[in-house]
Amino acid sequence: MRFLSVLVLIAGAAIGVFYPWAVSNFSGHAIGTWRVYEGGRFRPATVRLAARDAPVRVLVDLTARAERVASQQHTVLTLTAASGGRTALASTLSFNHTDNPRQVSPQLPDKIFRDEAGVIETVTPGAYVFTAGPGDADGIDMRAVDLILRAGTGSVDERAQPAGYTLMGVGLAGLVLSLVFGRGNKPPQNPNSQPPPPRWGRGGSQR
């Protein structure tokens, strides 16, 4: 039962955690990266997209002090994408759900947090203007913000994460139960397996 529970736990983690992360970060191919904030200033990025690029996944990398980002519950950044006077994407980014931010340098306290702004499902060929701005979070010491676009990305099945988390819960519960009940199912010790006590000498019996 313990081995089966571990397998179920691993399968749940693969479906609920690794699969969405892999689709978000590695499916499709990279269009490019643009710096939209640096030196205390935001600046828009203009990118020409083609119809064949759809769907386009929009990711944002934030370089900032780790403790400031992890402890807040507000919006750190806003991002909009517009083309031909129409808004194609509008998103708020908090970055506080990032479990493993990338380290800039061992000597620096800054880390790189990634968040997904959304997906542009249908692309009208032409120039898209991506505009980043500050949110309502206070005390975020931002160093840089990068816009990352990926073309032809796959979509995550909405059923994957709930199913994965359910499997993880079942596997963890089974593992705990196997550990608890496994302790009480040890076979009794056979008294004949112990060597007989010495008959002579210290501690022995003498007739």
- At 105-120, the pLDDT tens digits run 877 888 899 999 999 9
Residues paired with residue 182 on neighbouring β-strands, in sequence order: none
Q: What is the mean pLDDT of residues 134-157?
A: 83
Over the stretch 8-27, which tens digit does the pLDDT of each residue have?
A: 767 766 665 655 656 555 55
The token pair at 118 is 């959304």
Rounded CA separation 99/117 (Å) = 17
Higher pLDDT, 131 or 180: 131
User: DSSP strand E in 28-164: where?
Assistant: 29-38, 41-42, 45-49, 56-65, 77-83, 86-93, 102-103, 110-120, 126-134, 142-151
The token pair at 193 is 């397996």
Q: Identify the residue whose tokens are 């944002």.
A: 60
Q: How confident is residue 86, by pLDDT bands cut at 50, 70 and 90?
A: very high
Rounded CA separation 21/15 (Å) = 10
- Mean pLDDT comparison of 84-98, 159-173, 188-202, highest-scoring range: 84-98
Rounded CA separation 50/122 (Å) = 10
Q: What pTM does this model have?
A: 0.64
- What is the per-residue pLDDT for 43? 97
- Mean pLDDT comparison of 23-37, 76-90, 160-174, highest-scoring range: 76-90
Q: Which strands form 142-151's sheet, in the order they lie side by side?
A: 41-42, 29-38, 142-151, 56-65, 110-120, 102-103
Q: What is the DSSP letter of 186?
A: P
Helix (H, G, I), strand (E, B) or coil at 139: coil
- What is the per-residue pLDDT for 53? 92
- What is the per-residue pLDDT for 84? 93
- What is the per-residue pLDDT for 173? 79
How many CB atoms lie under 10 A from the CB of residue 79?
A: 22
